[in-house]
Amino acid sequence: MSDVTQIAVYTLTIGSIYGLVGFGYSLIFSTTRIVNFAQGTLVLVGGYLAWDLYAHAFHGDVALPIILILVVLLSALIGVLVDLVGVAPLGRFDPRTNVSWLVTTFGLGIVAEELVRRYISDSSQTLPGLVHSLPLFGSRRLPFGVAVSASDVLLVVVPIIVVVLLEVIQARTRLGRAFRAVAQDRQAASLMGINPTVMVMIAFALAGALAGLAGVLVAPRLNVRFNISVTLGVYGFIAAVIGGLGSTRGAMIGGYLIAFVEAFTGVWNPFSSGEVYKPIAVFIIFIAVLAVRPSGLFGKKIVEKV
């Protein structure tokens, strides 16, 4: 029976990270109709920034939660930089026929990754959990003998809080309304006195912040290393696409779904080594969902106007 708990823990922890990254894609997509291919790298950059701040800048003197806040702010800044350097200068363009944005965002991702490699570290690093124990929780064992650390609990809880918070802001505040207006119709929004450029920048900042947050949260589990930029980047995107780009809930649910598929394949599969089949299973699910619903589970079908 411990298999079930194991799958549940994996799904909830890793799934929420995929969802967090996917949410970033979703935010940018809904305002600009482009996909920020640097998103995965921002996760990596967040992790390494946190490690660098923790181990070098402050020599372990500053509590990690403070570093987390710093990293989130820095990542937001990097997100804005991606927009300012890679997307804003392209001006107004049709993302379907002009593919420059693909090249600039992906290229900037590599630039950021290489800068980390050169100036921070070129090897895998470890970062301790944000907190070692939670009040009321401690380091506890669930029934069936699965160990759950405090950082795992944060991994589950923080993304949900953040996403709910952002949902509330989107629904209830003036800024949120402006944001949704730009997402629905950029031109009409700008005629109503909303500056779409600013909204796009906010989207990039938020996406960057989410990626940075994901990078720090996931560090105790996956370590700070380079290939997470591709895996988390692609899986996050797959989560967002499966859920439906532009839908918040979709990204989270998509994240849980693929994490579940991964965990499930890892535990129950007829072959000997489950690890190898994880990505294959995710890929198959991805193709299957897109074959049935090209706009994702919660996405609105896009009908081209003629």
In the complex, the residues that contact another protein under the rule CB under 8 A are 34-35, 85-86, 89-90, 95-100, 102-104, 106-111, 114-115, 117-118, 226-227, 229-231, 234, 237-238, 241, 271, 273, 276-280, 282-283, 286-287, 290-291, 294, 303-304, 306
- Residue 169 φ then ψ, to 5°: -60, -45
Output 90 or 147, the one with its CB closest to another protein.
Answer: 90
Q: How many CB atoms are located within 10 Å of the residue 285 CB? A: 18
Question: Three-state DSSP class for 83?
Answer: helix
State the nearest-atom distance from the C-beta of 252 to another protein, in Å.
18
Q: Tell which residue, 92, 90, 85, has the closest CA to residue 100.
A: 90
8 A C-beta contact, residue 121 and residue 223: no
State the nearest-atom distance from the C-beta of 300 to another protein, in Å.
10
Output 129 or 244, the one with its CB closest to another protein.
Answer: 244
8 A C-beta contact, residue 27 and residue 243: no
Which contiguous run of DSSP H or E holds residue 141?
strand 140-141
8 A C-beta contact, residue 208 and residue 80: yes
State the nearest-atom distance from the C-beta of 100 to another protein, in Å.
4
State the nearest-atom distance from the C-beta of 285 to another protein, in Å.
10
Output 69 or 280, the one with its CB closest to another protein.
Answer: 280
Output 58 or 264, the one with its CB closest to another protein.
Answer: 264
Q: How many CA atoms lie within 13 A of 219 on its CB side?
A: 29
Output 264 or 277, the one with its CB closest to another protein.
Answer: 277
C-alpha distance from residue 266 to each of 3, 18, 78, 163, 282 (Å): 10, 17, 35, 28, 11
Output 98 or 133, the one with its CB closest to another protein.
Answer: 98
State the nearest-atom distance from the C-beta of 16 to another protein, in Å.
21
Output 135 or 272, the one with its CB closest to another protein.
Answer: 272
Output 13 or 39, the one with its CB closest to another protein.
Answer: 39
State the nearest-atom distance from the C-beta of 70 to another protein, in Å.
25
State the nearest-atom distance from the C-beta of 209 to another protein, in Å.
22
In sequence order, the 6+-apart residues with CB closer than 8 A to the CB of 230 are: 40
Residue 138 DSSP symbol:
B
- Residue 266 φ then ψ, to 5°: -65, -35
Question: Which tokens hold the place of 83?
Answer: 């927009």
State the nearest-atom distance from the C-beta of 279 to another protein, in Å.
5
Spatial separation of the C-alpha atoms in residues 234 and 53, rounded to whole Å: 27
Single-letter residue type at 139: S
